[in-house]
Amino acid sequence: MISLACIHCLSDCKLKEDHIFYILKGEAMNINIIYPDYNNSIANLANSILKKWGLTTNGETLELLDQYLVKDYKNVVVILLDGMGMNIIERNLEKNGFFNTHLAGTYSSTFPPTTVSATASIDSGLTPCEHGWLGWDCYFPQIDRNVTVFLNTDTETGEKVAEESIIWKYCGYTSVINKINTAGGKAYYITPFAPPYPETFEESCKLIKTYCEESWQKYIYCYCSELDYTMHYTGCYSDEAKQMISLLEKKIESLTDELKDTLVIVTSDHGHVDSR
């Protein structure tokens, strides 16, 4: 297993003073701003997968990952833990633990560094300005409404805005999963937003194991809403956050012990910082 961590990617909370633009005497002062590196980013990871399956890429591949994909693994599994940036790993986990001892390197998230934006990039190999999935809530002028895109509901009222997905209707793209399957390969989603809709990470791990036992070569993309969910309520470095990341670390270590001929890539979509 290898762990690829996002670095310097902030999301969904107020930024610390040293991470914002200051306007002073009419001049913008760039204070510790970290820009996305689209030659070493979450979008490049998806293009490495496309290249591995002999498919046309949407951009440069991730060199950090390419060296591991040289070996012809039966299974390639990406497990994305929402919000697990490098600072979260460094401050919440033991240095001799499973994630830190298997850390292969770091790359940048997208801009904006939101779950919707970054997961669309890892799903497509496109940057946000190419796929248009920018945030949890987006305004669609076609229907003059703000939509919570993953839920397809009105941001203010919570009512369903349409039977079909608005984000897919107006900002659709062809995913890595679909490209592999269309080309005659085998690829699976494991996410709460797609069939068979696993409700817990334990269920997701069981699905990973089941799919990996199938005889053919395959790509599996698994999304987990933790640590993001816990950190939003308790902060980045709370006891609850430490317990959650430790639990995920143990579950993934246990899972990898049960898998054969499988490359497991544990990564994230963005990082977090406490606002104060």
| pLDDT for the residue numbered 241 | 96
d(CA 184, CA 180): 7
Q: How crowded is residue 131: how many other Cβ atoms within 10 Å of its Cβ?
A: 22
The pLDDT value given to residue 16: 31
pLDDT in tens, 191-208: 998 999 999 999 999 999
Phi first, then psi, for residue 10 (nearest 5°) are -105, 145
- DSSP annotation of 13 reads S
- Confirm whether pTM is higher than 0.95: no
| pLDDT score of 2 | 60
Interatomic CA distance for residues 140 and 130, integer angstroms: 16
pLDDT of residue 83: 95
Determine the pLDDT at residue 30: 55
Length of the chain: 276
- The list of the chain residues with pLDDT below 50 reads 7-29
Neighbouring C-beta atoms of residue 5, cutoff 10 Å: 24
pLDDT at 17: 32
pLDDT at 275: 81
Q: What's the confidence (pLDDT) of residue 6?
A: 54
pLDDT (0 to 100) of residue 3: 59
Confidence (pLDDT) at 65:
96
Dist CA 206 CA 210 (whole Å): 6
Q: What is the pLDDT of residue 215?
A: 94
What's the CA gap between 147 and 22, in Å, rounded?
31
Query: For 55, how many CA atoms within 13 A lie in the half-sphere containing its CB?
Result: 22
**Is there a contact between 201 and 79 (Cβ–Cβ < 8 Å)?**
no
